[in-house]
Structure 1
Amino acid sequence: MRRLILPLTTFFASPALAESFDRPIPQAQSATAEFWYAMACFALIASMIAVQRLVARR
């Protein structure tokens, strides 16, 4: 059994079996995605202003 381990591991680990890496192509954002991103940015800014005013009062 030990005689089979080395040949099998070298066979399964050979680079001939490995696939090449294809870089993902970024997709363009839709207008809806840009709108919701802008709303999230405005909500974050508004929450930061609210936290700053709350902390400044104490």
Structure 2
Amino acid sequence: MRLFLPLTGFFVLAGSRLFAESFDRPIPQAQSATAELWYALACITLVLSMVVVQWLVSRR
């Protein structure tokens, strides 16, 4: 049993390298106008919320 354990590890590693596919890098897609609009709204909302928090904290 101890003799077969290293052999099975070797065959598993050798088999995984034989059937593995090469890595293809993903191609980045262009952003749509809708996505840019939502991103701009999110940025503006974040800045406004930080201004409100600063205003609330400074009042104390």
TM-score range, shorter chain: 0.7 to 0.9
TM-score, structure 2 length as denominator?
A: 0.79
Answer with 44-53 or 3-12: which moved more.
Answer: 3-12
Percent identical across equivalent pairs? 59
TM-score, structure 1 length as denominator?
A: 0.81
Which string of whole-angstrom CA distances, capped at 9 and with x for unpartnered residues, describes residues 1-58 of structure 1?
A: 4444333322221222222111111111100000000000000000000000000100
Task: Identify unmatched segments of 5+ residues in structure 2.
Answer: none
RMSD (Å) for aligned C-alpha atoms: 1.4
Aligned length: 58
Task: Identify unmatched segments of 5+ residues in structure 1.
Answer: none
